[in-house]
Each structure stands twice: as C-alpha cells, then as structure tokens.
Amino acid sequence: AAVVQGCGVALMILTIVQARMGSTRFPGKSLADLAGEPMVWQVCRRAADITGDVTGTFLAVPTTDDKVFWPWEPICSGDPTALLTRFWVCTQTHRHHGRSFSHIIRITGDCPLLDVGIARAVVEQALSGSLDLVCTTPLMDGLDVEVFTISALARAYRGATTPFDREHVTP
C-alpha cells in the first residue's frame, strides 16, 4: 500500500486491478498482445504508477483464469462470480502482511489507456473529503477509476445477499 498525504495525515492506499479471461465479446482480452506484452501487464504498470507503489498493487482474478498473471506478486484469486469476495480477500491478505490502509483504488484490467493523471485526481478528490466512493464519470469509459474506503468495502461485503451483490464491487 502506498503512503499518500491527504488532509494533513498519511493515508495508506491499496490498488486492486481486476481482470478476467471470460469476456463474451473478446475472450482472453486480458492477455491480448499490446506492444509485445499482455494487456493486463500494461494496465497493472499504469495502476502502480498512480501511487508509485508496485508492491501495493494487487491483481484480482477468478480461480478459473490461472493464465492471467503478471511479473510481480501478489495475485488474489477466487470464485469467478464473486468479484466482491476477491476484493475482500485482497484486503485481508494485505492486512495479514502487517499493513493497513484507508482506501482502495479499483482499476479494470481491460483499460489499457488508463490515464494516471486522471486517476491521481480521483484519488485526491477521495482523500480531500469524507466521501466513501469517488469515481470517474461513465462518459469516460476506458478510463475508469474508483476510489473507495475500506469501511465502504467492508459494508458492501457484509451486506451482500444476492449473486448480483457478490458479482460486483460497487453496484
């Protein structure tokens, strides 16, 4: 997790990139070649650049997608229909390594044009107030970034009662 100054205090931020192979329109797109590397590697590098911390950047994939990997750890895997649980597992894994954090940056692994400057602006907005969730507008499809508090994720995880709730992180 990266230490970021916000509101006069140091806050820890964990970045999670979600990726999967099961796209119906473009199967295997996470591993599609982009400049000689899998697309998800490009996305993970850009995601790590948001905070400047590679070790605080996780990849969350379904257990069925064992071909999705990246050149550094860690990877969290889990039920293909429970993205929310995969995010929760990532936070708990990080906590077990002795680190705690206040916010999570959520990036999708199929957005190779992720703009680090826009993402940093979303992070700054999230840290500047008491909002549980800050994200880009749907009009910025392909540049999607969400920043939310760990307490918001915990509430979503505890309150997930339907398959739809578990399949999404921030419905």
DSSP, residue by residue, 81-116: T-HHHHHHHHHHHHHHTT---SEEEEEETT-TT--H
Band (pLDDT 50/70/90 cuts) for residue 7 is very low
Band (pLDDT 50/70/90 cuts) for residue 138 is confident
Band (pLDDT 50/70/90 cuts) for residue 2 is very low
> How confident is the model over 25-42, as a mean pLDDT?
83
- Which is more confident, 112 or 121? 121
Query: In this predicted structure, what is the pLDDT of residue 130?
Result: 83
Band (pLDDT 50/70/90 cuts) for residue 58 is confident
Distance CA 51, CA 14 (A): 9
In the chain, what's the furthest Cα-to-Cα distance? 45
- Which is more confident, 156 or 20? 156
Q: How far is CA 57 from CA 24, 47, 70, 138, in A?
A: 27, 7, 11, 24
